[in-house]
Structure 1
Amino acid sequence: MKYLIFAMTLFAFVGCKDNKKQEEIIKTETVNQSVNIKNNKQSDETLEVYKNTWIDEIKVSDNGKWSANKETNEGVKNMLTSIATNRTNSLENYQDLAEQLSQHKNYIIKNCTMKGDSHDNLHVWLLPLMAKIEALSETKTVEDASKIKSSIEKNINAYSDFFE
């Protein structure tokens, strides 16, 4: 009887130990899957930032271009200057550029007096740009930062196609 109890205890102990290993494997696999899902989501979001799909959404004015207020035009001009004059050789340079672009964006928002369709279409142009500037400030690699900067530059350069 003692041998039977000893054998059952030993078997239960070994079985529990294997169970713990199995639980650890399951937990590890679950964590790895979660990380992969998160990384895929981040990659998808990053890919969206590179695109300029807003061009398909913006409407063209009956008069050719939408009228923008002086401060909006000035803010966009300052963004173009920042893009042209800032060296972007390191992640820190890109983050500095993102900070400058964010300040110019805030100036545009604070001083905007546009109304109606021109204002609505400014938002079509501006909202994706805001997401790109935020993505640039949060990027972790120079490669991604370079791609985002290029997308920002296209976004800002296209402003003059729709606004005056």
Structure 2
Amino acid sequence: MLNISKIAAAVLIISLLILGFSGCQGHAHGDHAQLGLNNGAKWKADSGTNAHVTALLQIAQANNPQTLADYQNAGNTFQNELNNLIKDCRMQGPDHDALHQWLEPLLASNKKLMEAENQDAASAIFNEQKEHIQLYFTYFE
């Protein structure tokens, strides 16, 4: 009985991971190579991706968290927009790979923000996320 529960849990986790990145196709999501320009030029992002990243930046700029709960709520708001970005992803090829080099650290950081246990840690993570979101516009058009 215990083995069946473990198998069911593993299948559920794998299914959720697959669904989470279902809009993003043709990419190994474990690659964390250093993000850089495309031979000196910005990577090409589609209009939907640009709109979602602009929304993330607006969320970051509109929030002025004062408490741990505020930071965690901001993380939840970020996560909703990140989920939409992933769901609507239509990019492919090297531009898509570059997007994931930018996106994956943000996903990991946001998870830490939502799980932060003290306000100082949450504040540091939030500020790093704001900077990271702004980096998108350095590397993508």
TM-score by length of 2: 0.74
- Structure 1 residue 63 displacement after superposition: 6.1
How many residues align? The count is 110
Q: Which residue of 1 aligns with 2:11?
A: none
* Percent identical residues: 32
- Structure 1 residue 62 displacement after superposition: 3.0
Q: Which residue of 1 aligns with 2:34?
A: 57
- Note the aligned Cα RMSD (angstroms): 1.3
| Greater helix share, structure number | 1
Matched ranges for 1:26-65 at <5 A = 57-62=34-39, 64-65=41-42
| 2:62 alignment partner, one of 85, 101, 109 | 85
3-state SS in 2 of match to 1:99: helix
Q: Which residue of 2 aligns with 1:105?
A: 82
Note the residue ranges of structure 2 that are not aligned, 5 or more in a row.
1-31
3-state SS in 2 of match to 1:102: helix
Runs of 4+ residues over 6 Å off in structure 1: none
Matched ranges for 1:127-146 at <5 A = 127-146=104-123
Note the residue ranges of structure 1 that are not aligned, 5 or more in a row.
1-53
Tell me the amino acid that sits aligned with residue 67 of structure 1.
K
Tell me the amino acid that sits aligned with residue 90 of structure 2.
T
Q: Residues 90-121 of structure 1: CA distance to partner in whole angstroms, max 9, x if unpaired?
A: 01110110011001111111111111110001
Q: Which residue of 1 aligns with 2:96?
A: 119
Q: Which residue of 1 aligns with 2:50?
A: 73
Larger relative CO (CA 8 A, sep 6+): 1 or 2?
A: 2
Distance (Å, rounded) in 1 between the aligned partners of 2:37 and 2:122: 30
Larger C-alpha radius of gyration, 1 or 2?
1
Distance (Å, rounded) in 2 between the aligned partners of 1:63 and 1:132: 27
TM-score by length of 1: 0.64
Distance (Å, rounded) in 2 between the aligned partners of 1:61 and 1:113: 19
- Structure 1 residue 154 displacement after superposition: 1.1
Distance (Å, rounded) in 2 between the aligned partners of 1:149 and 1:74: 21
